[in-house]
Amino acid sequence: MPRVKRSTKRSDRRKKILDRASGYFLTKSKLYQAAQEAVERGLKFAYTGRKQKKRQFRSLWIVRISAAAKLNNFSYSQLINGLKKAGVELDRKILADIAVKDAKGFTELVEQAKVALAAEKAAAEKAA
């Protein structure tokens, strides 16, 4: 069986790990084994961080929408329910952007939600 010298593949792999570990503290940026453990750990945190980022932004959007809705004497849940009943299909990201940058536009959306909820309530009373 021929002898295998792993020079380029091995050194390339090690160089890639050490490049990723540049800036890490003490031996984590110098020694391959320590760097490999640190890089794997960092990649694990990066993966979970990408998932958490989505949750945190959705939470931020909900807080912004809720605050703007309260300025219009309306709750967040009533607003979302009213917009669904009115057929307004804006996601929370867009609603939060409108709430922050365009107060008049957001007030119009709240009015649409109020009208839709009032119409549904009237229909329910009529049916009962």
The answer to whether residue 67 sits within a structural domain is: yes
State pLDDT tens for residues 40-56. Answer: 999 999 999 999 999 99
Kindly give the parts of the chain with pLDDT less than 70: none
Owning domain of residue 45: 10-127
Number of domain units in the chain: 1
Q: What is the pLDDT of residue 4?
A: 79
d(CA 103, CA 98): 7
pTM for the model: 0.80
CATH of the domain at 40: 1.10.1900.20
Assigned token pair, 75: 């709750």
Q: What is the pLDDT of residue 44?
A: 97
The answer to whether residue 2 sits within a structural domain is: no
Q: What is the pLDDT of residue 10?
A: 87
Q: What is the pLDDT of residue 7?
A: 76
The answer to whether residue 4 sits within a structural domain is: no
DSSP line for 13-82 = HHHHHHHHTTT-SGGGGTSHHHHHHHHHHHHHHHHHHHHHHHHHHHHHHHHHHHHHHHHTT--HHHHHHH
Q: What is the pLDDT of residue 5?
A: 76
